[in-house]
């Protein structure tokens, strides 16, 4: 976490493009070699943690009551990770500022969202949801989750839970 915190601080101070991995390592009090043991490049320092989120979401989907439909299952999973996101907000909020201000990071962010959607669709298929409904529910659900989360990172009121409720109702009204 020290490396991640140092990276975000430097990216905000100097800009992403003007910050090196060596500078991040120095700020964190470690060697550049240590940095590269943890991360492939400076971009990945911002995207570490995706595996934890995927695992938490897919575990919640697997544990959901069988009678829940795909969207209800997804929003149950999104609510289950709310405490994780709330605990991580002090890092996630400035991290998102860096990503939003850096076009070179937008592609990686979209790739992350795509991987999350794929993981959600897979978890839904494992519950017996057929291919197309699983993929569509996962993509629509992930878009709703991302929208609620990004809006909450910009302004913590209403709460993330309230934003998820609003997103769920809006998505269901569209469908």
Q: Which two tokens stand for residue 166?
A: 């609003």
CA torsion angle 8 77 81 7 (round to 10) = -10
pTM of the predicted model as reported, rounded to 2 decimal places: 0.92
Could you tell me the domains of the chain? 1-47 (1.10.10.60), 49-174 (1.10.357.10)
Per-residue pLDDT of the chain (175 residues; tens, 9 = 90+): 899 999 999 999 999 999 999 999 999 999 999 999 999 999 999 998 888 999 999 999 999 999 999 999 999 999 999 999 999 999 999 999 999 999 989 999 999 999 999 999 999 999 999 999 999 999 999 999 999 999 999 999 999 999 999 999 999 999 8
In eight-state DSSP terms, residue 40 is S
**What integer pLDDT is reported at residue 48 of this predicted model?**
87
Q: Of 13, 2, 6, 4, which is closest to residue 101 (Cα–Cα)?
A: 13
Any long-range contacts for 42-49 (C-beta under 8 Å, 24+ apart)?
Answer: 42/7, 42/16, 43/104, 43/105, 43/108, 45/3, 45/4, 45/7, 46/4, 46/7, 46/8, 46/11, 46/95, 46/98, 46/99, 46/105, 46/108, 47/108, 47/109, 47/112, 48/4, 49/88
**What integer pLDDT is reported at residue 49 of this predicted model?**
81
**What integer pLDDT is reported at residue 1 of this predicted model?**
85
């Amino acid at each position: 976490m020290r490396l991640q915190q140092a990276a975000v601080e430097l990216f905000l101070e100097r800009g992403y493009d003007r910050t090196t991995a060596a500078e991040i390592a120095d700020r964190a009090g470690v060697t550049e070699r240590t940095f590269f043991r943890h991360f492939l490049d400076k971009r990945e320092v911002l995207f570490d943690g995706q595996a934890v989120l995927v695992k938490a979401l897919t575990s919640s989907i697997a544990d959901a009551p069988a009678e829940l439909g795909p969207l209800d299952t997804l929003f149950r999973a999104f609510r289950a990770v709310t405490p994780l996101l709330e605990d991580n907000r002090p890092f996630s909020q400035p991290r998102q500022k860096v990503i939003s201000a850096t076009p070179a990071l937008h592609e990686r962010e979209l790739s992350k969202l795509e991987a999350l959607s794929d993981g959600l669709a897979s978890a839904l298929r494992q519950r017996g949801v057929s291919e197309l409904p699983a993929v569509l529910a996962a993509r629509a659900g992930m878009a709703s989750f991302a929208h609620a989360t990004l809006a909450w990172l910009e302004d913590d009121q209403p709460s993330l839970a309230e934003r998820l409720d609003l997103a769920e109702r809006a998505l269901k009204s569209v469908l």
